[in-house]
Amino acid sequence: MNAAPPKYALKFLRWFCREDCLDEIEGDLTELYKKHCLESSSRARWKFAGTVIRYLRPEYMKLFQRSRSHSLINISMIQNYFTLAFRNLRKRATFSFINIFGLAMGVCACLVILKYIDFETSYDTFNVNAASLYRINRTFIQNEERKSPNVMTTYGLGPALATDLPEVKRYIRTHTEHSVVTYEAGESNAKVFHEENILAVDSSFLRAFTFKALAGNLPTALDQANAIVLTQSVARKYFGAADPIGKTMTLIGGRVNGSYTVSAVLEDIPQNSHFKFDILVPLYAILQSEQYQNDDGWAWNNFITYIQLNDGASQRTAEQKFPDFCKRRLDPKWKDYNAHMELNLQPLRDIHLHPGLRGDVETVSRGTLYFFGMIAVFIVLIAWINYINLSTARAMERAREVGIKKAIGAFRSELITQFLFESVLINFISTLLAVGLAITLLPILGDIIGKELTFQFSDVRLWFALAGLSIVGALASGIYPAFVLSSFRITKVLKGNGSEGRGFSLRKALVVFQFAASLILITGTFVVYRQIHFMQSQDKGLQMDQMLVLSGPGTLPWKTAQQKLEILKDEVRKMPGVKAIATSGAVPGGGHNWGADIRKSGTPVTEIKSGSVVWVDPDFIPTYNITFIAGKNFDPQVKSDMESVIINEASLAAFGLGTAEQALKEQLIIGEDTASIIGVLKNYNWSSLKSDYTPFLFLADTIATTKISIHVAAHTIPATIEAIDERYKTLIPGEPFEYTFVDDSFNRQYKSDQQFGSIFGLFATLAVAISCLGLWGLASFTTSQKMKEIGIRKVLGASISGIVILLLRQFLQLVLVASFIALPLSWYGINTWLQGFAFHIGLHWDLFVLPIAILMLIAFLTVSMQVVKGAITNPAKILRSE
């Protein structure tokens, strides 16, 4: 017979069950067990265990013991906690303010960052089919060297994928266009605008991507070749309050010439969409254009291809078929070049979070988001540390309260509950305050990233975040002080032995942590701003100041446009405020005209490298003041000159041309054509300083009709612009006059870095502010604790400055230690970040020393206010009452 009941069940029972019920329960259970054992020992064991489980009821559990057995007393206890907590808050209003406000700022920063991260990760999720939609990226591999992946593909790719791969449900190709759009509302009442964001798409576009319709039937809206779909704001621009459906609009310029009938109106594209278009037209007209009619579907990489997979198909299975597909469809063309193509699928929802692909404008890397997430955690930690520090620093003050309570008979657990209760209360108040702060802070962040961010209070996750933050906050910041405060020994405390105790070294460590974190943030902000300033002010080898850029006439046929521009050029050149004028196919910061395959004449096709080509007129190089290191500019009088090419220094090495002088004797094969080199230019930064100098070629054209650059004199800019505007409008009527300054548009390339810097700066400021709040509280407290010491010192002859230094020293020491910790960390972080820029600032000592000095100064000011106040107090006042 098995006499002993199951060990584990018994252990478990003893663990959870209240002591005062255990005699009865365990006793009865054991007695029953022994009786049941007489029948079947194994069944008895099961029965025992099963019955034990049944006692998992609140009334038997230790966990709920207090609240159950003394439920009446407990309510008054809670009332008492409330009273005490509020009294404590009021009694030390400054401390309470620091605590609550500091915590609120921390939680607010956290909320705002969470919202930001949530927004950035929500891109394209509004698409019902988001999970099955992918974009095709291609990577060109030549001589085993992988070129950077590209999203631009040929128009043959989509249909070929749909025929060859059963996984593909449908393909969607898009092609960006711009055009001049006219709507004739009536006699002499035409509305004409330049539309830059036209997207020509397959009719499947609106079946795959789900946008909200205001009018029209979306799935079939693009089925007609002359259908046009507008977004709400564009529709309003042309039609006002009138119903746009069925109205006819004329598009002139580009490849989408013709009249179109409005078939649907979309709500404006959601902010979190990677598509940025105002108008949709069918791809039909584009494919009918001469350029693509002469193309077999595999030549011009001007399309972005998306595919939607069938419901059961996974990305993996589809991608596994790509190598074979490439081999059959794409690679034969590249065989002679010792090159091949690799395709892969990029999930729609990843597009926004995947920077670095050519053709993507607005992206943010996951790394950046993690980084901001980390900052959020740091800021909240700093705020919690404040609470811990201030509460434990005040321990001495409350020690008497604890001592008396203990003497009367309070359990330690009750004291812990009381202090936790206070921290819950403070965290709750500060969370409320934080929501208010966050609502005001969010538009600031929204301005920085150029989006409208608002809290959706209907979003459950927001409530979870709030609840989580306040509960975790209450525990994280409350547990340690609660244990420290409740641990005081009665005798020691009531004797009035106010020693500093063990809490202090931890407090120091926490302050060091706060300041190290703040310092890293300050240094980071500092470096980001320096780098952006450097990129903007660096000599780019191009004349960028006072350079006005006009868009060429898009409505006119190419030949007419050339003639008109010729006249415009001559007339504008003669204006008094104009220094120079030139036309080109693109301007600095605005990309290139052609990413061409280029090799030196006489080398095999395997030597092909890619280079950027821009068409310019002979005035372009002088207008932009680019320095020649060899050769000469295009001469419009010499025909052979106009068929030549001018290269940059970077091309020399890339195409193996030797020195600049040697290069002048060489020829380049650009695409299919051969051109002799007549000039070599000093390297210049055509695009962002993030990227290094790349091979860049100028081809000549008498007039390039896309962009007009005008170098104007600084003091007469408005008058000059007005004069040009007038000339332009009389010469080319019906064409909108729109201008930019090239340095503005060039600097727009740094937008994401500037955003990064601004967000960084915003939160660094918050972190420093919270840390200083804490330091301030701590300083005022230590000073008030040391008043007696100060008094005695003063009586004995210490000078005020001596005392101030004495008190300040310990705080500045902490900042110094923090600096030593922060230094290597920030060095490492900065170095990593700067590696992402081809042209970047050096790691000078002042990058590190200045933030330390700034932080020291802030800390010094914060602390000295309190310390000086203490030091100048009359000692008689303090020492009187002993």
Partner 1 sequence: MKDQSLGEFEELVLLMVAALHDEAYGVAILESLETRMERKYNISAIHVALKRMEDKGFIKSHFGGITEERGGRRKKFYVITAYGKKVLDQQYELRTELYQLIPKISFSS
Residue 645's DSSP bridge partners are 677, 699
Of these, 12, 22, 333, 494, which contacts partner 1 (CB under 8 A)?
22
The pair of structure tokens assigned to 162 is 């749909």
Would you say 23 or 672 has its CB closer to partner 1? 23
Residue 546 falls in which region: left (phi positive, over 0), alpha (psi -120 to 50) or beta:
left
Of these, 1, 7, 15, 23, which contacts partner 1 (CB under 8 A)?
23
21 binding partner 1? (CB under 8 A): yes
Of these, 7, 54, 90, 880, which contacts partner 1 (CB under 8 A)?
54
From 28-36, 135-143, 406-414, 559-567, give the range in contact with partner 1 by CB under 8 A: 28-36
Q: 733, 305, 406: which is closest to 553 by C-alpha?
A: 733
Q: How far is the CB of 404 from partner 1 (least distance, A)?
A: 33
The pair of structure tokens assigned to 8 is 């584990």
Residue 699's DSSP bridge partners are 615, 645
Are 547 and 669 within 8 A, CB to CB?
no
Binding mask 129-158 for partner 1 (x = CB under 8 A): ------------------------------
> Which stretches of 237-337 are assigned E, i.e. beta strand?
248-252, 258-266, 279-282, 303-309
40 binding partner 1? (CB under 8 A): no
From 30-38, 463-471, 568-576, 643-651, give the range in contact with partner 1 by CB under 8 A: 30-38
From 29-37, 215-223, 327-335, 635-643, give the range in contact with partner 1 by CB under 8 A: 29-37
Of these, 2, 11, 31, 444, which contacts partner 1 (CB under 8 A)?
31
Are 449 and 751 within 8 A, CB to CB?
no
Q: How far is the CB of 58 from partner 1 (least distance, A)?
A: 11
Quote the distance between the C-alpha of residue 811 and its chain's center: 35
32 binding partner 1? (CB under 8 A): yes
Of these, 2, 40, 59, 407, which contacts partner 1 (CB under 8 A)?
59
Residues sharing a CB contact under 8 Å with residue 36, sequence separation 6 or more, in sequence order? 43, 44, 47, 48
Of these, 2, 11, 16, 28, which contacts partner 1 (CB under 8 A)?
28
Instruction: Tell me 224's DSSP state.
Output: S
Concatenating the DSSP letter of every residue in 680-692 gives EEPP--SS-TTSP
Of these, 34, 66, 451, 492, which contacts partner 1 (CB under 8 A)?
34
Residues sharing a CB contact under 8 Å with residue 317, sequence separation 6 or more, in sequence order? 167
Q: How far is the CB of 3 from partner 1 (least distance, A)?
A: 9
Of these, 9, 55, 608, 858, which contacts partner 1 (CB under 8 A)?
55
Q: How far is the CB of 35 from partner 1 (least distance, A)?
A: 8
From 47-55, 239-247, 331-339, 445-453, give the range in contact with partner 1 by CB under 8 A: 47-55
Q: How far is the CB of 460 from partner 1 (least distance, A)?
A: 36
Would you say 25 or 435 has its CB closer to partner 1? 25
Would you say 4 or 73 has its CB closer to partner 1? 4
Tell me, what amino acid is at 340? H
Q: 571, 148, 499, 520: which is closest to 371 by C-alpha?
A: 520
Are 126 and 272 within 8 A, CB to CB?
yes
How many residues sit in the footprint of partner 1 (CB under 8 A)? 20
Q: How far is the CB of 81 from partner 1 (least distance, A)?
A: 25
Tell me, what amino acid is at 56? L
Q: How far is the CB of 98 from partner 1 (least distance, A)?
A: 45
Of these, 1, 15, 57, 637, which contacts partner 1 (CB under 8 A)?
57
Instruction: Tell me 744's DSSP state.
Output: H
26 binding partner 1? (CB under 8 A): yes
Token pair 């996984």 is found at: 167
User: Beta-carbon neighbour count of residue 59 at 10 Å?
Assistant: 11
Instruction: Tell me 268's DSSP state.
Output: P
Q: How far is the CB of 66 from partner 1 (least distance, A)?
A: 16
User: Which residues within the stretch 356-395 sit at the binding site for partner 1 (CB under 8 A)?
Assistant: none
Q: How far is the CB of 32 from partner 1 (least distance, A)?
A: 6
**Total residues belonging to the chain:** 882
Q: Residue 870: phi, psi to the nearest 5?
A: -70, -40
% helix, strand, coil for the chain, step of 5: 55, 15, 25
84 binding partner 1? (CB under 8 A): no
19 binding partner 1? (CB under 8 A): no
744 binding partner 1? (CB under 8 A): no
> Which stretches of 508-642 are assigned E, i.e. beta strand?
547-551, 578-584, 594-600, 609-616, 628-631
Are 154 and 286 within 8 A, CB to CB?
no
Of these, 8, 19, 24, 880, which contacts partner 1 (CB under 8 A)?
24
Q: How far is the CB of 51 from partner 1 (least distance, A)?
A: 6
7 binding partner 1? (CB under 8 A): no
51 binding partner 1? (CB under 8 A): yes
Are 511 and 814 within 8 A, CB to CB?
yes
**Residues near partner 1 (CB under 8 A):** 4-5, 21-32, 34, 51, 54-55, 57, 59
